[in-house]
Amino acid sequence: MKLIADLHIHSRYSRATSPEMNIDSLSKYAKMKGLNLLGTGDYTHPSQMTDMKRLLKRDSETGFYVHNGMNFIPSTEVSLIYTQNGKGYRVHQCIVSPDIETAEQITAWLNTKGRVDYDGRPIFKIPSPEFVEKVMEINKDNFVFPAHIYTPWFSMFGSESGFNSAEECFGDQIKHIHAIETGLSSDPAMNWRLSQLDRFCCISNSDCHSPWPNRLGREANVFELAKPSLKSMLNAIKTKNKSEFLYTIETSPLYGKYHYDGHRACNVCLSPSESIAQKNICPKCNKGLTIGVEHRVEELADRPVGFIPKHAIPFKSILPLQEIISAIYLTAVGTKTVSRVFDAIMAKFPNELNILLDASEEALCQHVDRRLARAIMLNREGNVTVKPGYDGEYGVPEFPKDLNLGKPTKQKSLGEF
């Protein structure tokens, strides 16, 4: 069975999230995307746990929890802010737990360290080694991984908040860490440049705060498992079994909000070399730049671009369908134009990932404008230019001008949707 999993998301109980980040809506939108396994997100929040216990029913065969035909597994993200060796660190750690009972035990322990009821992603002054040790002591089947490892402000390697090595972050508890999350602003190829990461498997998740298909599943993990279960999936990750862990789905790292260096307030976006030439200072206001992911990778890398480790899991780089429609029709992602075209295409195909990864150009041309079909194929082939994201701003996809449709017309191909 093919399992397409997005293991790191949030609920409506996290700050800055959509009220639609609830189990009912997530089940609906995950199917639209083409996913069949979701982390619940935010299980430490009492209201989210109440929702989980009310709605999710455990499948005795797989061990997954099911609601409206969608598989779920308990997951959460915790923000650890602490001092180590006289320096402050801010690291986000994710947990995937085997069952609700284990999730409740972890929450009970965290309640002795602070509050869990104010945010779906709570903050604690717990060093990462202590955190991992306790989580694994509660249940050895827990799966802990560092989230979006290069994000400047809250990650293991963040330019503003992180370490220079995984060993510094986890200490002797590194033995329990088997994977790192690439985050939107990096992809596996960037991580392969760091030999210190060879021991880990690269996984990818959306970290989404809104369920609409442009966000949910924009990054995910694709498995082919004879007997799908949490145990078999995690074993495929831990062993880097390429016959079971087929590939990750990535967005272009340039699309991520922190790929390049920059200063959003001054509309300044710089490559690492340009930033270094400016001494990491904004040329407009003379304040410090937010140092992005590519710059941070260059600082830590000990291998050239293009190096591929022996046991690396492959990946496919695609942008979400609504981003493609937005770029082709020269309008914002959230407009009625994009929604109309997106809904019309989706009515003709099983799900969004089928359109992005599998549908032939011939099949697409039967239902969409040929130029939009060509853009979808260029996206699949990795031939999309992206204006890099920086300092909290998403990157912007750009297609050749002769593909741009401008304002949609009532031409026949559109009318056939």
Burial class (CB in 10 A: 0-12, 13-18, 19+), 137: exposed
Assigned CATH topology for domain 2-255 = TIM Barrel (3.20.20)
pLDDT mean over 229-245: 98
pLDDT in tens, 12-38: 999 999 999 999 999 999 999 999 999
CA-CA distance, 176 to 312, in Å (whole number)?
19
pLDDT mean over 320-338: 94
pLDDT mean over 235-245: 98
387 has pLDDT over 60: yes
Q: Are 76 and 43 in contact (CB under 8 A)?
A: yes
Arithmetic mean of pLDDT over the chain: 95
80 has pLDDT over 70: yes
Closest CA to 169 of 201, 190, 197, 189: 197
Label the pairing between strands 268-270 and 2-6. Answer: unpaired
**At 391, is the pLDDT very low, low, confident or very high (cuts 50, 70, 90)?**
very high
Q: Are 180 and 202 in contact (CB under 8 A)?
A: yes
Burial class (CB in 10 A: 0-12, 13-18, 19+), 162: buried
Q: What is the pLDDT of residue 412?
A: 32
SS3 state of residue 316: strand
- The H-or-E segment that residue 297 falls in is helix 293-300
CA-CA distance, 268 to 412, in Å (whole number)?
43
More confident position, 110 or 214: 110
Owner of token pair 């737990």: 97
CA-CA distance, 374 to 266, in Å (whole number)?
36
221 has pLDDT over 70: yes
pLDDT in tens, 334-370: 999 999 999 999 999 999 999 999 999 999 999 998 9
409 has pLDDT over 90: no
Tally the C-alpha atoms within 13 A of residue 22's C-alpha that lie toward its C-beta.
9
Q: What is the pLDDT of residue 407?
A: 57
Q: What is the pLDDT of residue 408?
A: 47
**What residue ranges do the domains of the chain occupy?**
2-255, 320-389+396-415
* CA-to-CA separations, 378 to 247, 268, 392, in angstroms, rounded: 19, 29, 26
pLDDT in tens, 134-182: 999 999 999 999 999 999 999 999 999 999 999 999 999 999 999 999 9
pLDDT in tens, 264-277: 999 999 999 999 99
pLDDT mean over 246-263: 98
CA-CA distance, 344 to 387, in Å (whole number)?
28
Confidence (pTM): 0.95
pLDDT mean over 233-249: 98
Q: What is the pLDDT of residue 42?
A: 98
Q: What is the pLDDT of residue 228?
A: 96
Q: What is the pLDDT of residue 375?
A: 96
Q: What is the pLDDT of residue 402?
A: 83
Q: What is the pLDDT of residue 404?
A: 74
* CA-to-CA separations, 254 to 58, 258, 260, 267, 293, in angstroms, rounded: 39, 8, 8, 16, 10
CA-CA distance, 281 to 275, in Å (whole number)?
7
Q: What is the pLDDT of residue 315?
A: 98
Which parts of 115-242 are beta strand (E)? 123-124, 143-146, 179-181, 201-203, 220-224
